[in-house]
Structure 1
Amino acid sequence: MSFPLSHVTSSSSSLEAHGWDSGWAESFAPYAAQGLVPGRVTRVDRGQCDVATADGIVRADTAFVTPHDPLRVICTGDWAAIDPEGARDPRYVRACLPRRTAFARSTSSKRSEGQILAANVDHAVITVSLAVELDLGRIERFLALAWESGAQPTVVLSKADLVPDPVGLSYLVEDVETVAPGVQVVPLSSTTGEGLDVLSAVVAGGTTVLLGVSGAGKSTLANALVGEDVMDVQAARDIDGKGRHTTTTRNLFVLPTGGVLIDTPGLRGVGLWDAETGVGQVFSEIEELAGNCRFHDCAHESEPGCAVAAAIEDGSLPVRRLESYRKLIRENQRIVAKTDARVRSEILKDWKRKGAEGRHAMEMKRGRVR
């Protein structure tokens, strides 16, 4: 049995709330000719997934879309082609449409595999709790992954009601803005409603993913945006602001004001995954300065004519910022080097060069080189 494309197009109007558009319809055309029906994955759990179709949420088996590459496994936010109703039991996901964007990180496993957190995302809301001291380095990590994914990041400073001093709150916002060039920073309180209207306007169009560590208030924020208690909420510990993993799966919800929201479990680790472009975006001021260095391969250490070192010296570039940049660049290179022989070779050459320079400097110090 097969359905003409016109049937899929007309019956897909209920999918528009989940983000269906003419582009997805065009991509789905070959599967429509096979009699399959479109749907968006709202949840994945142990070899099965929930899929939002024109006829509602259905359960489907993922046995046919489980590739060895962990970056290609089906994920919340994917658009899928599944068996039509009544074709067989259980129904199967037969294919996933090519992703427009994908939010990926490296796992904590020794194999350093990539992991897809959400697919086809337009906005990445990085949730940071003001119940604890700001970790600017962690925010930079989240931002690098968000920019690399192709999504537009926004930083939400949750639990803003815990900072009653408006001046103190403005200073915290400024601190985050300094590490988030080109990113909107929104102080927000789900208790008082402060900032909810601003964030609602941001997420009203497209698909948004909520990101952050446990205890950041993502589930509370999800409930506030959806307008009902769709996620369980548990209190964070007072001593460090950390919470238990209230959210254990990635869930997709349609927002009453328009748009789609994906809530994710709290992330203990935020490892980069081939995020060179994202790192460059986060530290755009350093990369701009580097373009003015005398040497194109300047390491920004002791080279003459280094514009980055000059900015450190005159105080226009914080030392912490440069150290964080170097740390993320090194981490990303190690990840990429595991699968790219060329990068491994370049890193090895750099180590040898630095080793030779170090030995030469030691010889000069000992007076053995004239």
Structure 2
Amino acid sequence: MAALGWSDFFDAQLGADETSLARLRIATVHRSRLTAEGPAGAVKVNLPATSKTTDFAVGDWVLADPETRMFLRRLDRHALLERKTEGARVPQLIAANVDTLFIVTSCNDDFNPARLERYLALANEAETQPVIVLTKADQARTVTPFEEQAKALQRGLSVVTLNAKTPEAAQVLAPWCGPGQTVALVGSSGVGKSTLLNTLANKTGEDAQATGGIREDDAKGRHTTTARSLHTTQAGGCVIDTPGIRTLHLSDVAAGLDVLFAEIAELAPDCKFRDCTHAHEPGCAVQAGIAAGSVMPDRLERWRKLADENQDNTPQTTGPRGNKKPQGKRRKR
């Protein structure tokens, strides 16, 4: 159970009458069925008519009847990665109970700092440790510019560079993939996520995840992974693979943006006006930071764009406590 990620956090949620129930970790979520991993291996989870598969994320822990595998209860998550999708009323669940998010990009035209910032905000909001994984290092003339740009995105950010096809890649990522640890892979199609999964999980032959190359003219890849899935790593942990994401809309990640743009968030409380936009108001501490060189103007512009998007996409609540109702979009600053 520990190898699958079971910990004291989940054990503490068990009632006295639940200790004999099957503890299963969701491995795949399909339109009409769930599969899970348990001590005896992979099993199908049966759902009552009142439950929907969309309520579950890969990585969830559930309790089920040990004989019938009928779902009884989902345990609380210690982390949840989710994203807003265009036109959807509820967020799409990406993965649950993830300790580390490997944000995978390659040392070519796929490398996009603005897109990486979106993934970082997502990980920060979930209180999941982000790690930038730069792949295809063997194909780049030099990896230094990619590493320097990635490290500048957030304070204390871990950045690793590797060739996902080599066994050494598993060694580089070993600090985050040990027994009981869960990592998730996110990034665009064609950056090497499936290749990296095969290396981490030691999958070969028919067991290997299908991989695909990228178009040389625009560095974009085809979707070789079509569903989220959980696998065990050769280091004793778990890895969750996800389909490539081309567009990531931000919603309800204000705290994540504060971590991402810490130099701005730390100065904002010192502004003269509480609703300062950090653009033109007198007594703006952030503008003073730009003048002093502690805040870069391009960072402020990217913060403003993401903060506005997050504000527009996050439902606001109004009304008395206990009777709050969603409010429409607020006007941009």
TM-score normalised to the size of structure 1? 0.80
> Would the alpha carbon gap of residues 31 and 171 (structure 1) be closer, same or farther in structure 2, given more than 3 Å must change?
farther
Does 2:69 align with 1:83? Answer: no
The equivalent residue for 1:175 is 149
Which of 44, 58, 83 matches 1:105?
83
How much does 1:64 deviate? Answer: 5.0
Q: Which amino acid aligns with 2:225?
A: T
SS state at 2:63 partner: strand
The equivalent residue for 2:24 is 39
| C-alpha contact (below 8 Å) 2:27/2:230 kept by paired residues | yes
| C-alpha contact (below 8 Å) 1:47/1:62 kept by paired residues | no
Whole-angstrom CA distance in 2 between matches of 1:148 and 1:22 = 23
The equivalent residue for 1:152 is 129
Task: After TM superposition, list the pairs within 5 Å mapping 1:63-78 onto structure 2.
Answer: 63=48, 66=51, 73-78=55-60
Task: After TM superposition, list the pairs within 5 Å mapping 1:276-315 onto structure 2.
Answer: 276-315=254-293
SS state at 2:131 partner: strand
> Would the alpha carbon gap of residues 84 and 196 (structure 1) be closer, same or farther in structure 2, given more than 3 Å must change?
closer
1:141-164 deviations in Å (ceiling 9; x for gaps):
000000111211111111111223
1:58-94 deviations in Å (ceiling 9; x for gaps):
11233456359x6xx1111011112223x4xxx4322
> Considering only CA atoms, is the larger Rg found in Structure 1 or Structure 2?
1
SS state at 2:221 partner: coil
> Would the alpha carbon gap of residues 228 and 195 (structure 1) be closer, same or farther in structure 2, given more than 3 Å must change?
closer
> Would the alpha carbon gap of residues 42 and 259 (structure 1) be closer, same or farther in structure 2, given more than 3 Å must change?
same
Whole-angstrom CA distance in 2 between matches of 1:259 and 1:103 = 18
1:200-235 deviations in Å (ceiling 9; x for gaps):
222225111111111121111111111223311111
Whole-angstrom CA distance in 1 between matches of 2:201 and 2:63 = 27
Q: After the TM superposition, which parts of structure 1 deviate over 6 Å for at least 4 consecutive aligned residues?
A: none
1:175-224 deviations in Å (ceiling 9; x for gaps):
11111222101111124556542212222251111111111211111111
The equivalent residue for 2:164 is 190
| C-alpha contact (below 8 Å) 2:313/2:329 kept by paired residues | no
> Would the alpha carbon gap of residues 223 and 192 (structure 1) be closer, same or farther in structure 2, given more than 3 Å must change?
closer
Length, aligned pairs only:
323
The equivalent residue for 1:219 is 194
Whole-angstrom CA distance in 1 between matches of 2:139 and 2:210 = 22
Task: After TM superposition, list the pairs within 5 Å mapping 1:231-250 onto structure 2.
Answer: 231-250=209-228
Q: Which amino acid aligns with 1:39?
A: L
Whole-angstrom CA distance in 1 between matches of 2:94 and 2:39 = 25
SS state at 1:317 partner: coil
How much does 1:113 deviate? Answer: 2.4
Q: Which amino acid aligns with 1:75?
A: A
